[in-house]
């Protein structure tokens, strides 16, 4: 019994040690914009319940490549300011070769915009009011989101899965280098534009309505010529735009 209590106490201490900065005073904002330079960025939406969490935790890695969670003085590494209905969270300009990883818990009803200026991986999950991401270098994954998404990456693959869609708003997933995969509800209705300049093919769980021949459809064979096609899903609707300069495209059913 004593051992069990000790283990629980230690787990609670670890949880408290990395509780991060409480942002619950900003719960009434409509949008959060996060900007960082080097480092991973993770944003997880929390349910609109009494237990919802709005907090920020950061991990700093200095020029000697030594990582550490920041327990206090977060203001030394990031600035947090409110302008009207928007909250801006911005990492400081890099000092030497440092990186700053951010772990943000945000009420899922708040719209989120993420900007990664240099390099790192991005994960956004369980957001219900749409998402906008601009990334220079690194993979981008938007998981179990609702609404719409506008995602641009200069170098890195993009994956986005949607639990629900805003039927009137577009989805745009564009990268210069890497594959693009989107997962949609089975009843989604979209006008689709597909672009892959080289090393591409198209995989689709949906029947694509088109009079055009889609090169290497549902064949994992890299095309030697550009892929430029238009199609519809379930009769068409708002735009679904998937584009890469180098890589395959995939449209999956959300599961």
Residue 11 has pLDDT above 90, yes or no: no
Burial class for 95, CB neighbours closer than 10 Å (0-12, 13-18, 19+):
exposed
For residues 243 and 227, give the distance between their C-alpha atoms in angstroms, rounded to a whole number.
10
pLDDT tens-digit readout, 96-129 = 999 999 999 999 999 999 999 999 999 999 999 9
Question: For residue range 57-70, what is the model confidence (pLDDT) as tens digits?
Answer: 999 999 888 888 88
Output 51 or 122, whichever has higher pLDDT. 122
CA distance 46 to 30: 15
- CB-CB contact of 45 with 107 (8 Å): yes
Nearest residue to 205 (alpha-carbon basis) of 229, 180, 233 = 233
pTM: 0.90
Residue 51: pLDDT band by 50, 70, 90 thresholds? low
Q: Enumerate the domain spans of the chain.
A: 19-129, 130-255
Do β-strands 227-233 and 208-209 pair in parallel, antiparallel, or remain unpaired?
antiparallel
- In this prediction, residue 159 carries a pLDDT of 98
Q: Phi-psi category of 155—alpha, beta or left, where left has phi over 0 and alpha has psi -120 to 50?
A: beta
Q: Write the CB contacts of 4 (distance below 8 Å, at least 6 apart in sequence).
A: none
Residue 42: exposed, middle, or buried by beta-carbon count in 10 A (0-12, 13-18, 19+)? middle
For 167-221, write each residue's pLDDT tens digit: 999 999 999 999 999 999 999 999 999 999 999 999 999 999 998 889 889 999 9
């Amino acid at each position: 019994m004593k051992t069990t209590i000790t283990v629980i106490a230690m787990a609670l201490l670890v949880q408290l040690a990395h509780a991060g900065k409480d942002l619950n005073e900003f719960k009434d904002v409509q949008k959060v914009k996060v900007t960082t330079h080097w480092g991973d960025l993770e944003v997880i939406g929390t349910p609109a319940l009494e237990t919802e969490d709005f907090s920020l935790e950061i991990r700093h890695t200095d020029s000697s490549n030594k990582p550490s969670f920041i327990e206090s003085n977060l203001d030394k590494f990031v600035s947090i300011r409110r302008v009207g209905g928007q909250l801006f969270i911005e990492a400081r300009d890099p000092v030497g070769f440092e990186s700053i990883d951010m772990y943000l818990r945000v009420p899922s009803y708040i719209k989120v915009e993420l900007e990664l200026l240099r390099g790192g991986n991005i994960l956004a999950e369980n957001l219900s009011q749409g998402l906008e991401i601009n990334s220079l270098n690194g993979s981008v994954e938007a998981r179990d989101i609702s609404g719409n998404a506008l995602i641009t990456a200069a170098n890195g693959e993009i994956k986005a899965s949607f639990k629900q869609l805003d039927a009137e708003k577009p989805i745009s997933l564009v990268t210069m280098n890497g594959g693009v995969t989107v997962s949609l509800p089975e009843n989604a209705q979209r006008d689709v534009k597909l672009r892959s300049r080289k090393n591409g093919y198209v995989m689709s769980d949906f029947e694509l309505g088109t009079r055009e021949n889609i090169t290497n459809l549902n064949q994992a064979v890299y095309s030697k010529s550009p892929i430029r096609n238009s199609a519809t899903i379930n009769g068409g609707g708002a735009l679904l735009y998937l584009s890469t300069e180098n890589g395959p495209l995939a449209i999956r059913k959300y599961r």
